[in-house]
Amino acid sequence: MSQDRKAKLKKREEKQRRALERKRELFDGALAHAGLTAAFERCQAQVQEALQQAILPIPEMVLDPSANGMPDALAIQRRFGELLEKLPKAGEADVTPLDFFCVLWALKARIEGTEKGMRERGQNMHAEPWAGLFAFGNELLKDIERHKLEALGHFLVELWSEILVHSVVDDRVFWYEFQYDPTPGKKIFQRYVLKVMKPERTRITCDGAARPAFRASIFGPRGLSHLTWTAADLGFDGAPQEYPVYVQSHALEQLARRVPSFHTPAIVCSLTRPKFTRQSEDSFLVEYRQGSADHKLGYFVGVRLPDKVLLKTFLFLTMQGTPESDLLYSKLRLTRRDIEFIRLDELSVFLDQDVRQDAGLVKLFDECGCGHLLKAADPDFGSEGRHGHAEQLRKYLGNVDRFISRFAPRAVS
C-alpha cells in the first residue's frame, strides 16, 4: 500500500474516531442534562448499545438558492447553530434543543418502534432485557413532557425572532421549510432550509390616486402565508369574508419618520395580532405596538376596498385622527396645531427624563391615554433619554395643577 493511501486511510479513521467521540459526548451529555443517566445505567449492556446507535446527526440549516449570497441569510444560519446549544432562559434543567433533536427524540422513536414491533409479534415485554428498556422509556417520556416546551419552545421562538429581525416587510421575507429526510443508509437528517420571498408589488388606486403598495406576507408558526383579515375581525358586514392586506410604502415611510427605532418584528406582531378601532363605514385604525412591554405607539390607517384592505399611512399616537388626540382636545383643549408646536407628535418628548419625572405631566398624559409612553424603557426605542422639555410643556399648557384638579374624583358628601 502506498504512503499516500496509508495517509488517506489514517485521516479517515481519525475523522471517524472524532465523530464517534462527539456522538458519545452528545449522548452522555443529553442524559446527564435530563437527569436520565442513572435510569440508563440500569439497562442491560445490549440495550445500552442499541440505544446509543439511535442518536441522530446534528440538525443543520442550509440555504435555498433564493437566499444564497445574502449576508442576512448567513447571519441567520450562524444564529441557528448557536441556538441549538443554548439553554432556555428560565430552565429548571440543563436540557438544550440539541439534546432533544439528536438524542431524546431519537431514543423515544427507537423505544416506541421496538414496543410496536414486539406487540405485533406477541412477545413478552416484561422479560429482560425489554423490561429495563421500557422502564427507561417511561422515565424518558416523563422528562420529555417536562422539558420539551421549555427547550424547544425557546429554540423556535428565538429562531423565529432572528428571522424577523433580518426580514424587511416591504423588501424581503425570510422563512424556512423543515425537512426530515431518511437516507439510503437509514440515517435521518433534520434540515431547516432558509428561503427568501420578495413581497408581491402592485399599484392600488385609493382616494383618487394610484400609489405603489405591497402585499403583506408573514412567516409564523404555520409557515409562510399572505396576511388576511376577516370581515368579522374588522367589524364589517358583507362579503368577502376575508380580505388580503396590502400596505402602501407611504405607511412605512411615516412610521420610520415618527418612530425611528421601529423594526420588522414589531410590525409583524402588530399585524398578526391586530387590535382594530373602527372609524367609519369603510375605514379603521390598527394599533402599532413595540417594545418588551408591547407599548402602543400609534396606528396604521386602513381602508376597506372591494376586494382587499389597504394600510395607507401611519399616525403617531397623538396625531389628529387617533382616539388619544381626541382626548388631548377634550381634556386639555389641544388642537393639531398645538400638538405639533409642542412636539407631542414625536416619541422623543415622551422619552425626555424631565417629563417622565414631572408628576403633574405624568398625570395629564395618563388621563389622555398617553401615559404608557412615559413608562417605556429607553433601550426599546434606541434613546439615551433627553432632558429639558418639561418646563416648556408647563409654560405652554399653563396651570397644570388646575387640569389635574379637574381629573381628581369628587368626594361624596
pLDDT per position as a tens digit, 60-112:
999 999 999 888 999 999 999 999 998 887 555 689 999 999 999 999 999 99
What are the distances in angstroms from CA 191 to CA 17, 55, 152, 180? Answer: 24, 16, 16, 6
pLDDT in tens, 256-315: 988 888 888 899 999 999 999 988 888 899 999 988 778 899 999 999 998 899 999 999
Any idea how long the chain is? 413
Q: At which of 260, 282, 316 does a domain end?
A: 316
Q: Is residue 8 one of the residues assigned to a domain?
A: no
Q: Is residue 3 one of the residues assigned to a domain?
A: no
pLDDT at 40 over 90: yes
- The long-range contacts involving 227-236, CB below 8 angstroms and separated by at least 24 positions, are 227/271, 227/272, 229/274, 229/309, 233/274, 233/276, 234/276, 234/278, 234/284, 234/304, 234/309, 235/276, 235/278, 235/284, 236/282, 236/304
pLDDT in tens, 337-383: 999 998 999 888 888 888 888 888 888 899 899 998 888 766 566 65
Residue 159 pLDDT grade (very low, low, confident, very high; cuts 50, 70, 90): very high
pLDDT at 245 over 90: yes
212 & 271 share domain? yes
Rg of the Cα trace of the chain?
A: 29
Tally of domains in the chain: 3
278 & 398 share domain? no
312 & 377 share domain? no
275 & 396 share domain? no
Q: At which of 294, 316, 338 does a domain end?
A: 316
19 & 161 share domain? yes
166 & 262 share domain? no
Q: At which of 316, 347, 377 does a domain end?
A: 316
351 & 396 share domain? yes
Question: Residue 330 sits in which domain range?
Answer: 323-407
How buried is 132 (Cβ within 10 angstroms: 0-12 exposed, 13-18 middle, 19+ buried)? middle
312 & 354 share domain? no
228 & 143 share domain? no
- How much of the chain, in percent, has pLDDT values that exceed 70? 91
55 & 117 share domain? yes
- How much of the chain, in percent, has pLDDT values that exceed 90? 46
Q: Which residues pair with 304 in a beta bridge?
A: 309
Report pTM: 0.81
21 & 165 share domain? yes
84 & 138 share domain? yes
